[in-house]
Structure 1
Amino acid sequence: MNIWSYIAKRILLMIPTLLGVIAITFAVIQFVPGGPVEQALMELKKGQVGAGEAGGGGASEYRGRQGIDAERVKEIQALYGFDKPPLERFAQMLKGFATFDLGNSFYHHKDVWDLVKSKLPVSISLGLWTFFLTYFISLPLGIAKAVREGSRFDVASSIAVLIGYSIPGFVLGVFLLVMFGGGSFVQWFPLRGLTSDNWEQLSWFGKVTDYLWHIALPVTASVAGSFAVMTMLTKNTFLEEIRKQYVLTARAKGLNENTVLYKHVFRNALIPLVTGFPAAFIGAFFAGSLLIETLFSLDGLGLLSYESVIRRDYPVVMGTLYLFTLIGLVVKLLGDLCYVWADPRVQFESLSR
């Protein structure tokens, strides 16, 4: 099986997987109470209560207006598309997804795709910095720990890494805000947002400085936990390779330590790290960003997804789920391709089983 046949087969397998995820979520939504229709009816009832009290009609007048007219209920159902059977709504939604028409938000009254694109800059900023700093710190540190296993450096760095891993990102974020964001000590960094209000009036250098000033605390809180896992994975992977027979043979031939480490060990040890590279890259944008975005008032995709679930904004829920699932399936395919690229001994037939 060549690479193109393998890719075509995997793409065909993505279709039922994607449909299954969307169908299960759509079915669950049908039984969740407090949907947009119920919320609209609740607002109408609140309005009637206010009108009855403001009109001074007394309790008897209000009790006569407690019920919602059946025609009004049908109008609200039609407004949100709930006047159609579930299967028809599901088919209509899939038809829109096929052309990347994700519908319109019930709450924001905007196209879901435009809404997602408006939130992307925040998530991309946070995700890119988290991803690159995680790898740039973890790989050299993990290699250094493997080479110096058992030394004071290894023990001290392991303690520091485990302490960072044991502290949740949002807890560290609160600590950073209290210490350096004007909480109880000093205000060296801003409390919210990615840029200042006067960002457009700043010079090019001023814009870069202002952006880095705002992103410092959120990125620090995001990186603290993720780089610990990658560091220990790098160390253990390199240790496993260093102890293999081919390393002893290379050393016996008189090769210097750097040649053995970076020419022979590095390529083999890189395999588990490279295969997780696409998933880590995408995960930095969408995973674990909710609490950080909320804590630092960053209006990104994590906060959008959370608010859409709370507000029962079903087009946003289903639209973002569709995009995230599709991205996840593509990333899984890229991970398998990276595995073959890193280790040519692996064949596509074994990956497809």
Structure 2
Amino acid sequence: MWTYIFKRVLLLIPTLLGILALTFAIIQFVPGGPVEQMVQQLNHGSQGMAEVSSGGGMHGGRQGLSAEEIDKLKVLYGFDKPPLTRFIDMVGHYVRFDLGDSFFQPKSVTALVIEKLPVSMSLGLWTFFLTYLICIPLGIAKAVRDGSRFDGISSLLILIGYAIPGFVLGVLLLILFGGGSFWALFPLGGMVSDDWDTYSTAQKISDYLWHMVLPITASVVGNFAVMTLLTKNVFLEEIRRQYVYTARAKGLSERRIMWKHVFRNAMIPLITGFPAAFLSAFFTGSLLIETLFSLDGLGLLSYEAVMKRDYPVVMGTLYVFTLMGLLAKLLSDLSYVLVDPRIHFDGER
């Protein structure tokens, strides 16, 4: 097992470097970088000062930046070095988990990620737990009652939820329950109330849950269809296997067959996806959901970094998310072997 893990970790390195190199190369061709944006802002500022000075009867002076000042901006943002040198320096810092500092915010990339992480974790973890806690029992019930009215109605409902985009459902929830045109049962946005610090512990918990009902509902409904139908199909496949007929012929009860035999085998493909889904829940950031419900999380941070060309934030968050994704994939592969003894690392079984 340790040999397999060592080989997989070695494969993570070129994969991670390849993703970073490809993104870094694309960034070099994107117009409107931080130097250009700063030059434009300073030029507009100098033009505005010149207009004010001219209106007051004073000499407007020179407008725009000189070549020396532009070179200083390039040094400030690190664009005075060749792209290859900058990429090597960036990777060297990432090895030490130094993600650098934001170009447009007086904070490090690590501090920004930690600051925005609780919002995305709230959405991600609630979505993860509710999806597993609801979809697995529902999928088992649908498999046992395959072809019944319950199966048909539940399939129709979850497919409707899957077809409705999360942000559209969020708008509908705000109109219905957020003080739009009907009932003002939940707040319009935010993670907690403004005077949250003055509440007791019980009040803080209830206030947090009250604020998160609508965004979590908008985020989680679309995930029900995939997990529920996957659970149903996996259980149906196991129920139709020969060992189930043999157990019935031996006189075992349906309850014993389902929970002692079918459940153990059918849960293998579901459990193996658990590590990846759990890790990704910590870094789940939905731009549309966060914007709609005024939640300042990782999704909004990534979007603003791309729009502002805040390259340290773009590359730093990409590095963290990619590393977590690759580790989650490794954990998923390891869980196959731990859950199913028929699978072996060296492929001999």
Q: Under a length normalisation based on structure 2, what TM-score does the superposition of the two structures give?
A: 0.96
Shift of 1:288: 5.8
Q: Deviations over 1:33-69 (max 9, x none)?
A: 01100000110111122122212279xx87x845420
Q: Tell me the matched-pair count.
A: 346
Q: Distance in 1 between matches of 2:162 and 2:55?
A: 62
Alignment match, 1:189: 186
Bigger shift: residues 46-55 or 125-134 = 46-55
Q: Distance in 1 between matches of 2:7 and 2:179?
A: 55
Bigger shift: residues 80-89 or 307-316 = 80-89
Alignment match, 1:334: 331
Alignment match, 2:154: 157
Residues 102 and 312, structure 2, Cα contact 8 Å, conserved in 1: yes
Alignment match, 1:30: 28
Residues 267 and 342, structure 1, Cα contact 8 Å, conserved in 2: no
Structure 1: gaps (5+ residues):
none
Residues 277 and 335, structure 1, Cα contact 8 Å, conserved in 2: yes
Q: Quick check: 1:103 aligned with 2:107? A: no
- Which residue identity is paired with 1:20? G
Q: Deviations over 1:126-146 (max 9, x none)?
A: 111110000000000000000
Q: Distance in 2 between matches of 1:287 and 1:216?
A: 17
Residues 124 and 284, structure 2, Cα contact 8 Å, conserved in 1: no
Superposition pairs of residues 228-243 of structure 1, within 5 angstroms: 228-243=225-240
Superposition pairs of residues 195-234 of structure 1, within 5 angstroms: 195-234=192-231
- Which residue identity is paired with 2:38? A
Residues 123 and 286, structure 1, Cα contact 8 Å, conserved in 2: yes
Residues 285 and 298, structure 2, Cα contact 8 Å, conserved in 1: no
Alignment match, 1:134: 131
Q: Under a length normalisation based on structure 1, what TM-score does the superposition of the two structures give?
A: 0.95
Correspondence for 2:177 among 176, 180, 201: 180
Shift of 1:177: 0.7
Residues 284 and 298, structure 2, Cα contact 8 Å, conserved in 1: no
Q: Deviations over 1:245-286 (max 9, x none)?
A: 111111111111111111111111112111221222233344
Structure 2: gaps (5+ residues):
none
Alignment match, 2:246: 249
Alignment match, 2:302: 305
Alignment match, 2:51: 53
Alignment match, 1:6: 4
Residues 270 and 342, structure 1, Cα contact 8 Å, conserved in 2: no
Correspondence for 2:87 among 69, 86, 90: 90
Q: Quick check: 1:75 aligned with 2:69? A: no
Alignment match, 1:20: 18
Superposition pairs of residues 291-302 of structure 1, within 5 angstroms: 291-302=288-299
Q: Distance in 1 between matches of 2:158 and 2:288?
A: 22
- Which residue identity is paired with 1:39? Q
Residues 123 and 215, structure 2, Cα contact 8 Å, conserved in 1: yes
Bigger shift: residues 266-275 or 239-248 = 266-275
Shift of 1:300: 0.9
Q: CA 1:120–1:287 in 2, change beyond 3 Å: closer, same or farther? A: closer
Alignment match, 2:145: 148
Q: Deviations over 1:197-247 (max 9, x none)?
A: 111111111111101000111110011001221001100111111111111
- Which residue identity is paired with 2:212? I
Counterpart secondary structure, 1:349:
coil
Residues 18 and 325, structure 1, Cα contact 8 Å, conserved in 2: yes
